[in-house]
Amino acid sequence: MKFLLRFAALPLALLLPLAAQDANKTAKPDPSQEPGITRQQADQILEELRQIRQLLERQQAKPAAPPEPIRAKMNLNGAEMLGSKDAPITMVEFTDYQCPFCQRFHLSTFGDLKKNFIDTGKVRFYSRDLPLDSIHANAMRAAMAARCAADQGQFWKFREIVSAHPDKLELANLVDVAESLHMNPDTFRACIETGKYKEAVQTSVLEAMKFGIAGTPSFVIGKSTPDGVDGEVVEGALPLTEFAKVFGKLEK
């Protein structure tokens, strides 16, 4: 195909119409109008264009292969956990408290997930932070606040409330939640304002980035290990049925 490289740089939008014209048996180029190209050369060019078109059509007809899952092995020592430490499956959520999709997961899926899998000892659930502070101005504050709530033993209750209200994450809102849970509001406020857990939250963000996780909610789901999980990244606020399929594969 000695003419292929010569014409490979032509825009595809120009090549395909030429091939289509030949396929429809329209008139071939007149060599007298194309100095330097004989009719034989023109026929050969059109034949090569027809082969290119057929190759493109075959490639477009092939279904795209699903992307390979991202493997993730995590050490979860010190992370907040819900469920039995002896559960055979571990699920880790990377969350942003201002993310509407995280809100959807917690309002539509998490309750049944907890009832059917966490409370029954099948799955242990960990929480990690991924505040997308470039688009969510209050996400970092909320992530630090949840850790401050953990200091007073109220992490999961605090998390449940703020996850349901991503539009109410100003400092005053967070302090109100702390008071409703009978926490010391002054200690809680000082914890946030001094940035006590800012570095810890940033470390969680870097961990997510290491696995290519850039959106929320995202999950790492896999076999439980003595210090964490060995699993795969699962993205999105999926319905419970989809998570159940993942768990089922891990149980085999």
Indicate the pairing of strand 228-235 with strand 71-75: antiparallel
Cβ contacts of residue 50 below 8 Å, gap of 6+? 19, 22, 23
Cβ contacts of residue 177 below 8 Å, gap of 6+? 158, 161, 162
Contact between residue 97 and residue 201 where contact means Cβ atoms under 8 Å apart: no
**Listed residue (96, 94, 131) closest to 208, CA to CA:** 94
Q: Is residue 228 part of a domain?
A: yes
Of 49 and 145, the structure prediction assigns the larger pLDDT to 145
Q: What is the pLDDT of residue 33?
A: 52
Q: Is residue 97 part of a domain?
A: yes
Helix 139-151 to helix 155-164 angle (10° resolution) is 150
Q: Is residue 238 part of a domain?
A: yes
pLDDT for 143-190, tens place per residue? 999 999 999 999 999 999 999 999 999 999 999 999 999 999 999 999
56/75 same-domain check: no
31/90 same-domain check: no
246/151 same-domain check: yes
**pLDDT at residue 223 tops 60:** yes
Q: How confident is the model at residue 8 (pLDDT cuts 50, 70, 90)?
A: very low
Q: Is residue 100 part of a domain?
A: yes
10 Å CB burial of residue 143 (0-12, 13-18, 19+) is buried
The single residue listed with the structure tokens 């997930």 is 113
88/204 same-domain check: yes
Contact between residue 49 and residue 57 where contact means Cβ atoms under 8 Å apart: no
10 Å CB burial of residue 133 (0-12, 13-18, 19+) is middle
Indicate the pairing of strand 123-129 with strand 89-95: parallel
Domain count within the chain: 2
Contact between residue 204 and residue 131 where contact means Cβ atoms under 8 Å apart: no
Residue 215 backbone zone (phi > 0: left; psi -120 to 50: alpha; other: beta): beta
38/113 same-domain check: no
Start-to-end CA distance of the chain, whole Å, equals 53
189/106 same-domain check: yes
Contact between residue 46 and residue 197 where contact means Cβ atoms under 8 Å apart: no
Q: Tell me what the mean pLDDT of segment 57-64 comes to.
A: 68
183/221 same-domain check: yes
Quote the domain boundaries for residue 54.
12-61
pTM for the model:
0.74
The single residue listed with the structure tokens 């996780």 is 213
